[in-house]
Every structure is written in structure tokens, then in C-alpha cells.
Amino acid sequence: MKKLVALLALFVSFAAFADDAQYVAASKKAAGILLRASLNDPDSLVVESATIYRRNGPFANICGTLRAKNAFGGYVRQYFVVSEESGTYIGPIPPTYFKRECSGEVIE
């Protein structure tokens, strides 16, 4: 339920911002909420890199790499995609999925 509320907040916030700086800030904040909700240890999240792609309309996809603790307490590096269409995906990303979700105008 938390994920659903966070996801709705993410996409409602996108529609509210027309300015790119505000759009990017809102995108990053919402992505952080969604990523933390998907992890075993949310406080261990370190986003190493992220690229924001503008998609159709007011929505964006965010693709990048993160480090976080796994169930054994060790840090692992993983890829992630936060997408309006398919939600949050963390882990090995199939090339076809990456091509589909991580494309469009790069805004940061």
C-alpha cells in the first residue's frame, strides 16, 4: 500500500511542475521514496548515478545504479529503473527493457 501511495504521489507531483529544475527535484525525491520502499534496508540506499528521461506528457523515467545492503548485510551494486508505466525495477535489467524504459529526452 505504501508503494502505491508513493507511486501516485510521484506522478501527481510530475504534473504539478512545469519548470525543469522543479521537475527534476520532484522526480528525484519521488524516485528515492520508491527505491527505499523496495529495499531490505531502506536507510542504506546510496544512488551512485541517475539519468532522468522525459517521456510522453508530464511523466519521466529515472534509470541508474545504486548501492544498498542486501539480506546478508553486505553492500551490493544494482541497476534500477523508476518508470511511470511499469513502476520500480531493481536488479539485472534485460537489454530490451532498458532500451524501452530508458529512452527519450535526457533532462539530467
Compare 42 and 55 and report the one with higher pLDDT. Answer: 42
For the whole prediction, is pTM greater than 0.75? no
Q: Identify any residues that bridge with 61 across adjacent strands, giving them in sequence order.
A: 53
pLDDT of 1 reads 47
Indicate the number of domains in the chain.
Answer: 1
pLDDT of 84 reads 73
Distance, in Å, from the CA atom of 81 to the CA atom of 60, rounded to the nearest integer, reads 11
Which one, of 82, 26, 17, 15, lies nearest residue 51 by Cα? 82
Residue 73 domain boundaries: 2-106
Is pLDDT at 67 greater than 90 in this prediction?
A: yes
Compare 10 and 55 and report the one with higher pLDDT. Answer: 55
